[in-house]
């Protein structure tokens, strides 16, 4: 008896001391270190290419041009290089394509001797408006420092100077803010050491592909290439880091284009190694000065769920079971959130989750009610996670999923589907949105003809909340394809992504509302990223579903 008491006491002690340790880190330090080491081993070598500007250009206010500004070619760069920069202050150089890298310029005296420093301003733009619209006074929501204008003091001639920060741009405006009246000088050269980790060339499209689709594909590839650096960045201008949502779409596009799967592997390991102590994932991580997560950022529920889908897709594409098995505990852990905010009907209580600090993203769209979309994402992720488990022979470890999938699907159908409208609604306001319908179709809550009916009703529903950005358009197109509305899918790719092409895009934009070109989630449209990972997925559609995108 005393022996038993002693044992119980020992056990209690063990629990007391081991529980905080378990609570401190869901994965072991050793495991994390090993994951980060694998991430490091898979860091790609950047391919560096020297690129020179191809022309000078005039940025002209033009009400029918994208955002009201047009770039009109205006001679060769040599015109700038050989004459006084003082007299050409404000000149814009055009590199002819979107580039990401390090900008170097050279100055030489033209007349007399340099007797004073020179103050120059370089403004870099992905799109023409960025080198035309004044940045100050700045009232946007994100750091003013994202905007790519750099002021440089040159103290010695001749000079060759590299701006320290990495830049992403096609256009650069050069302004002289200060110079001596006693000498003259020229900007004699400039170039970019452009970087990407893409080293492969995707297979050519079928010759029957329309010109527009070929362009949409090419610009999607450029977008992806620019975002593929030492991680899948969201945008090389802004935020320049690895977000799960972008990783998910980039890795899908990569599977059907560059096939550089080791970058996906690196990113999956990086996110795992830097997960929260409770095992749930941070929505984004940084690489430098050493890999670290955005500690302090809110938990982004939908992104954590999409990690599992990216891991499953990676396994299917590569058959790399070692990685999938190694990271399985991370995927499994993400499922532990599913039932936290379900009501008796298996419907997600989004309002409460948001109130408790969860970030429900879904789309850049302030008006969007997220409940129904999250319901769909949860079911979709559970199904994909179950597939992953099956591929690894680990179904038993997630044996709660089939029941949850069933309950949540029924709940969605019974609680969120408005039979009269033939549409899913979301939240207390019973909002109808593209996001809700798309995600619940992707989740398979409705299928085939039933799903088609939903989509057709949606297109007729005047007040439906539309997608706010290419990220949500992706899932809408996927849902259209999944339910067989392939012509509608094609039409969206041609009109939405094709719309950007027609408006002069070199890479696809983070935010694009055809009816409001100055829309910005950040209060200032030059802050938007105009080369954004999540917008590259035209590549994925065109290459995964070639039959849909052939000429009729």
Task: List the one residue out of 256, 474, 440 whose CA is nearest residue 348.
Answer: 440
Of 289, 396, 428, 463, the residue at the interface with its own copies (CB under 8 A) is: 289
Cis peptide before 158 (omega within 30 of 0): yes
Preceding omega of 289 cis (within 30 degrees of 0): yes
Interface residues for its own copies in 178-197 (CB under 8 A)? 178-183
**With binding defined as CB under 8 A, does residue 144 bind its own copies?**
yes
Q: Nearest distance from residue 294's CB to its own copies, in Å?
A: 4
Give CA 186 to chain center in angstroms: 39
Query: Is position 535 an interface residue for its own copies (rule: CB under 8 A)?
Result: no
110: contact with its own copies by CB under 8 A? no
Q: What's the CA gap between 211 and 379, in Å, rounded?
A: 38
277 binds its own copies (CB under 8 A): no
Examine residue 113 and tell whether it contacts its own copies (CB under 8 A).
yes
Among 49, 153, 345, 429, binds its own copies (CB under 8 A): 153
Q: How far is the CB of 146 from its own copies (least distance, A)?
A: 6
Nearer to its own copies, 4 or 288 (CB): 288
51 contributes a contact to its own copies by CB under 8 A:
no
Q: Which of 8, 12, 15, 116 binds its own copies (CB under 8 A)?
A: 116
Which one of 217, 226, 239, 302 is in contact with its own copies (CB under 8 A)? Answer: 239
Binding of residue 204 to its own copies (CB under 8 A): no
Instruction: Identify the CA nearest to 390 among candidates 310, 303, 321.
Output: 321
Q: Which of 99, 118, 263, 451 binds its own copies (CB under 8 A)?
A: 118
* Position 295 contacts its own copies (CB under 8 A): yes
Pick from 16, 21, 145, 344 the residue near its own copies by CB under 8 A: 145
Does 119 contact its own copies by CB under 8 A? yes
Phi, psi of 529 (to 5 degrees): -85, 130
Longest dimension (CA), the chain: 102
Measured from the CB of residue 295, what is the shortest distance to its own copies in angstroms? 5
DSSP 8-class letter at 281:
P
Return the residue of 36, 142, 351, 519 that touches its own copies, per CB under 8 A: 142
Which listed residue (82, 143, 162, 208) binds its own copies by CB under 8 A? 143
Beta-ladder partners of 291: none
> Is 260 in contact with 44 (CB distance < 8 Å)?
yes
In degrees rounded to 5, what are phi and psi of residue 287? Answer: -95, -30
Which residues 121-140 are close enough to bind its own copies by CB under 8 A? 138
502 binds its own copies (CB under 8 A): no
Query: Which range of residues in 177-185, 213-221, 396-404, 463-471 is near its own copies by CB under 8 A?
Result: 177-185
Question: Judged by CB under 8 A, which stretch of 216-224, 235-243, 305-313, 357-365 contacts its own copies?
Answer: 235-243
Q: Which of 33, 48, 97, 156 binds its own copies (CB under 8 A)?
A: 156
What are the C-alpha distances in Å from 437 to residues 15, 21, 375, 406, 432? 47, 43, 11, 18, 8
With CB under 8 A as the contact rule, which of the stretches 110-118, 201-209, 394-402, 417-425 interacts with its own copies? 110-118
Which region, judged by CB under 8 A, interacts with its own copies, from 71-79, 283-291, 389-397, 462-470? 283-291
How far apart (Å, rounded) are the C-alpha atoms in residues 219 and 497?
9
If the CB atoms of residues 238 and 394 are measured against its own copies, the closer one turns out to be: 238
Give the whole-angstrom CA distance, residue 533 versus residue 227: 6
Rounded Cα distance, 511 and 552, in Å:
30
- Contact present, 309 and 248 (Cβ < 8 Å): yes
- Of the candidates 73, 90, 158, 402, which one interacts with its own copies according to CB under 8 A? 158
- Kindly tell me the sign of the dihedral angle through the C-alpha atoms of 51, 54, 58, 62: negative
Stretch that binds its own copies, among 249-257, 284-292, 366-374, 502-510 (CB under 8 A): 284-292
Q: Is 102 in the site for its own copies (CB under 8 A)?
A: no
With b for 16 or more beta-carbon neighbours within 10 A and e for fewer, the 134-163 pattern comes to eeeeeebebeeebbbbeebebeebebebee
As given in the structure block, the two tokens for residue 97 are 């394509």
Task: Tell me whether residue 141 or residue 514 sits nearer to its own copies (CB atom).
Answer: 141
CA atoms within 13 A on the CB side of 175: 12
3-state secondary structure of 185: strand
Considering the rule CB under 8 A, would residue 461 count as an interface residue with its own copies? no
H or E segment to which residue 47 belongs: strand 47-51
Give me the half-sphere count of Cα atoms (radius 13 Å) on the Cβ side of residue 7: 4
Q: Is 50 in the site for its own copies (CB under 8 A)?
A: no
Residues engaged in binding its own copies (CB under 8 A): 111-113, 115-119, 138, 141-147, 150-151, 153-156, 158, 164-166, 177-183, 238-239, 241, 286, 288-289, 292-297
């Amino acid at each position: 008896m005393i022996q038993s008491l002693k044992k119980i006491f020992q056990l209690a002690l063990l629990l007391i001391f081991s529980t905080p340790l378990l609570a401190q880190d869901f994965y072991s330090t050793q495991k994390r270190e090993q994951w980060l080491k694998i991430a490091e081993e898979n860091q790609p070598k950047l391919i560096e290419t020297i690129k020179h500007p191809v022309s000078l250009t005039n940025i002209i206010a033009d009400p029918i041009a994208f955002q009201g500004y047009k770039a009109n070619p205006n001679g060769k760069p040599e015109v700038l290089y050989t004459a006084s920069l003082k007299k050409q202050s404000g000149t814009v150089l055009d590199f002819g394509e979107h580039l990401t890298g390090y900008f170097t310029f050279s100055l030489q005296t033209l007349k007399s001797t340099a007797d004073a420093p020179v103050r120059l301003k370089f403004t870099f733009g992905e799109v023409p408006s960025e080198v035309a619209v004044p940045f100050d006074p700045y009232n946007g929501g994100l750091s003013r420092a994202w905007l790519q204008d750099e002021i440089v003091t040159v103290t010695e001639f001749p000079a060759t100077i590299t701006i320290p920060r990495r830049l992403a741009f096609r256009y650069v405006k050069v302004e002289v803010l200060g110079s001596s009246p006693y000498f003259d000088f020229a900007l004699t050269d400039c170039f970019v050491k452009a970087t990407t980790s893409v080293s492969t060339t995707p297979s050519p499209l079928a010759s029957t592909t329309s010109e527009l689709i070929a362009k949409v594909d090419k610009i999607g590839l450029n977008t992806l290439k620019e975002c593929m650096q030492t991680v899948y960045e969201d945008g090389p201008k802004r935020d320049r880091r690895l977000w799960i949502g972008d990783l998910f779409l980039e890795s899908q596009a990569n599977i059907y284009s560059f096939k550089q799967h080791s970058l996906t592997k690196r990113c999956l390991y990086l996110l795992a190694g830097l997960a929260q102590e409770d095992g749930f994932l941070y929505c984004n991580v940084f690489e430098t000065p050493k890999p670290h997560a955005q500690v302090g950022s809110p938990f982004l529920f939908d992104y954590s769920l999409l990690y599992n889908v990216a891991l499953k897709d990676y396994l299917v594409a590569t058959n790399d079971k070692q990685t999938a098995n190694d990271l399985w505990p991370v995927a499994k852990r993400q499922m532990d959130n599913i039932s936290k905010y379900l009501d008796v009907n298996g419907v997600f209580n989004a309002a409460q989750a948001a109130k408790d600090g969860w970030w429900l993203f879904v789309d850049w769209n302030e008006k969007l009610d997220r409940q129904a979309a999250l319901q769909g994402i949860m079911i979709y992720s559970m199904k994909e996670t179950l597939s992953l488990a099956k591929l690894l022979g680990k179904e038993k470890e997630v044996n709660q999923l089939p029941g949850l999938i069933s309950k949540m699907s029924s709940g969605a159908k019974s609680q969120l589907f408005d039979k009269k409208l033939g549409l899913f609604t979301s939240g207390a306001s019973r909002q109808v949105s593209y996001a809700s319908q798309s995600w619940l179709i992707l989740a398979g809550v409705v299928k085939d003809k039933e799903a088609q009916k939903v989509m057709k009703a949606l297109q007729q529903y005047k007040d439906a909340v539309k997608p706010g950005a290419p990220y949500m358009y992706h899932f809408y197109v996927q849902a259209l394809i999944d339910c067989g509305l392939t012509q509608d899918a094609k039409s969206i790719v041609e009109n939405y992504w094709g719309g950007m092409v027609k408006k002069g895009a070199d890479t696809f934009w983070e935010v694009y509302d055809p009816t409001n070109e100055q829309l910005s989630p950040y209060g200032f449209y030059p802050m938007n990223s105009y080369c954004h990972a999540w917008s590259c997925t035209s590549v994925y559609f065109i290459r995964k579903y070639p039959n849909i995108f052939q000429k009729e």
